[in-house]
Amino acid sequence: MCEETSAKQKVEISESVMSKNDRFAAENRKILRGRGLYTLNLISSPGAGKTTVLESMARYFGGRMAVIEGDIQTRRDAERIERAGCQAWQIETGGACHLDAHAVNHALGHMDLDSDELSLLAIENVGNLICPSGYDLGEDMRIGLLSVPEGDDKVLKYPSLFSTVDVLIINKMDLIPHLDFDVDRAIEECRSLNPDVNVFTVSARTGEGMEEFCGFVESGFLRNTG
């Protein structure tokens, strides 16, 4: 009897948390679309290269892009993005393993979103392949990053993320000659979960593939404002 009651309480708490998140996500979406901003949510494990991807994007988009950075501690990633040429706001979660829509909503209130030039908002989630996948932040495009050093077996191990992404980026392709990573396997397994996923193979460090990816993102926000 106690076990049944405990399980029921856990379900009710979970539903309450997600309901609150979804309300803030809807509000974020209304704010962002009202300002004509196309929004990305980048999710990966720690060290997969999200910030390096965003630095490359910052050099491509310049003042057309703003970034929200999510980390447990420090403002280091926001500082990297600012040096690359974009406005950035840092969210320090203080221990939480993901961003939620409320935190993003708070960040939006501190950012300059009224520039006529600004068309794109990129959100770098906290490094984690599990928790961020359950939280809608109000994004238009969800992007999952998988880096070559992590191994090609991660897609089916973390289906909650890779079954929900619009885009799969395989990063650090410059390391392919040195590691046992089967690109075709990773793509095939992602498409077994998610047949319509768009896939880009890149090296954010060298720039390989980044222009093609940025062009794809650009076409998305041009359609959004067209």
pLDDT at residue 6, rounded to an integer: 52
Is 136 within 8 Å of 123 (Cβ atoms)? no
Specify the pLDDT at position 153.
97
pLDDT of 223 reads 77
| CB proximity list for 164: less than 8 A, separation 6 or greater | 133, 142, 194
pTM of the shown model: 0.90
pLDDT at 8: 56
* pLDDT score of 225 more than 70: no
Residue range 90-139, pLDDT digits in tens: 999 988 899 999 999 999 999 999 999 999 999 999 999 999 999 999 99
Mean local confidence (pLDDT), 148-165: 97
Residue 15 lies in a domain: no
- Joined together, the tokens standing for residue 89 give 């706001």
pLDDT of residue 151 exceeding 90? yes
The answer on pLDDT for 14 being more than 60 is no
Residue 130: the pLDDT is 96
pLDDT tops 80 at residue 45? yes
The count of domains in the chain is 1
Asked if pLDDT for residue 34 goes beyond 70, the answer is yes
Mean pLDDT (the chain) is 93
- The CATH number given to whatever domain includes residue 28 is 3.40.50.300
Classify residue 92 as exposed, middle or buried by CB count within 10 Å of its CB (0-12, 13-18, 19+).
middle
DSSP state letter for 169: E
pLDDT in the model for residue 13: 53
Q: Is residue 5 part of a domain?
A: no
Q: Does any domain span residue 164?
A: yes
Q: What is the 3-state secondary structure (H, E, C) of 80-129?
A: HHHHHCCEEEEEECCCCCCCCHHHHHHHHCCCCCCCCCCCEEEEECCCCC
Asked, for residue 16, whether it belongs to a domain, the answer is no
In a domain, 39, yes or no: yes
Number of helices and strands in the chain (H, E): 8, 7
What is the extent of the structural domain holding 162?
Answer: 21-221
Longest Cα separation, the chain: 60
Tell me whether residue 11 is in a domain: no
pLDDT digits (tens, 9 = 90+) for 47-77: 999 999 999 999 999 999 999 999 989 999 9
Strand pairing report for 167-171 and 198-201 = parallel
Measured in Å, how far apart are the chain's first and last C-alpha atoms?
58
* Tokens 């309300």, located at residue: 23
Report whether pLDDT(222) > 80: no
Confidence of residue 221 (pLDDT cuts 50, 70, 90): confident
Q: Which of 57, 166, 37 is nearest to 104 (CA)?
A: 37
pLDDT for the residue 4: 47
In a domain, 50, yes or no: yes
With contact defined as beta carbons under 8 Å apart, do 74 and 96 qualify?
Answer: no
Report whether pLDDT(7) > 90: no
Answer whether residue 217 is part of any domain. Answer: yes
Average pLDDT value for residue range 15-25: 89
